[in-house]
Amino acid sequence: FENFNIDNQINMLFDRKVELENGGSIIIDVTEALTVIDVNSGKYTGSRNMEETALAINL
């Protein structure tokens, strides 16, 4: 567990905001009636147009 930092990775499962390697982020809000997952492009600048950016971030 220590060699691969497993404890820290398990604790990150409960974070509200998850930073993605490509500069984007995912925010997860949970309520009694609804769970919302918001995917943000953030700092990602790898595409020339909005459609390519949306596809790259959501994959």
Model pTM greater than 0.75? no
Query: Residue 34: phi, psi to the nearest 5?
Result: -155, 145
SS3 29: strand
Q: Which amino acid is at 48?
A: R
The string of pLDDT tens digits covering residues 4-59 is 889 988 888 889 998 888 788 889 999 999 999 988 877 666 667 777 777 777 77
For residue 8, which amino acid is it?
N
pLDDT given at position 13: 84
Domain boundaries, the chain: 16-58
Distance of alpha carbon 58 from alpha carbon 49, whole angstroms: 14
Residues 22, 2 contacting (CB under 8 angstroms): no
